[in-house]
Amino acid sequence: MAERAPVPRIRDDWLNDRSTYQRCFVCGQRNDGGLRAVYRQEGDRIVTEFTGHDAHQGFPGVVHGGLISALLDETMGRTALLHGAWTMTGRLEVRYRAPAPAHRRLVVSAWLTRERRVAFESRGEVRLDGEELVAEGRGLFLRVPEKVREQAEDAHPEFAPYFRNAIPHAEMEPVQEAEA
């Protein structure tokens, strides 16, 4: 069996927006209507925690499934940062396994399963208190198009260092397929 390469460490200011923007619905700390997720890296996984409140309910007492989907989407998308790539969602599939009660801690984790020339595939899961499986997802994340990067830089020049320091595709190490 081949030995796995060490997992690169992702800079905290890439995992968590520290710019003046901070308006992402899921992770923006300056978005009063958002979820304000904070991310950390645990080995080859990206992890966040979320506790839904009354305003996050769909069915009474249950966190809305769209919010569960959004948390999975954002967390899985961040796995491409293991290779210095900025991405946008190309495809997202979520399978709900159990209700996510409001006022209980949900742990969302994601890992990269495949890197391709223009896209990354990842998987993720949401667990109640880190134990019971609430939802699982898989997604395809496409490299951010140059035009979108330019628009972001024009509106928020502080993003330029992130985009300019991203690792070009030719310099990237291939990601080993993860076991299912």
Going 26 to 33 to 51 to 29, the CA torsion angle's sign is positive
The answer to whether residue 134 sits within a structural domain is: yes
153 falls within a domain: yes
d(CA 177, CA 148): 29
Residue 50, pLDDT above cutoff 50: yes
Beta bridge partners of 47: 40, 109
What per-residue confidence (pLDDT) applies to 18? 87
User: Does a structural domain hold residue 26?
Assistant: no
Lowest mean pLDDT among 52-56, 102-106, 149-153, 159-163: 159-163
> How far apart, in whole angstroms, are the C-alpha atoms of residue 129 and residue 49?
9
Which residue has tokens 């993860």? Answer: 178
Domain assignment present for 19: no
Give the tens place of pLDDT for each residue, 56-76.
Answer: 999 999 999 999 999 999 999
Any domain includes 176 = no
Q: Would you state the pLDDT for residue 174?
A: 40
Evaluate whether residue 35 is within a structural domain. Answer: no
Q: Is 119 helix (H, G, I), strand (E, B) or coil?
A: strand
CATH of the domain at 149: 3.10.129.10
* Domain contains 64: yes
Look at the chain and report how many structural domains it folds into: 1
**Cα–Cα distance for residue pair 59/85, rounded to 1 Å:** 37
Predicted pLDDT of residue 177? 40
Domain that residue 102 falls in: 41-167
**How high is the pLDDT of residue 168?**
47
Beta strand segments in 15-104, E: 40-42, 45-51, 87-96
pLDDT of the residue at 175: 39
In angstroms, rounded to a whole number, what is the distance separating the alpha carbons of residues 87 and 72? 14
Report if residue 73 sits inside a domain. yes
Model confidence over 2-22: pLDDT tens digits? Answer: 566 788 899 898 899 988 899
CA distance 96 to 133: 9
Q: pLDDT digits over 170-180, tens only?
A: 333 443 444 44
Q: Work out the pLDDT band at 166, boundaries 50, 70, 90.
A: low
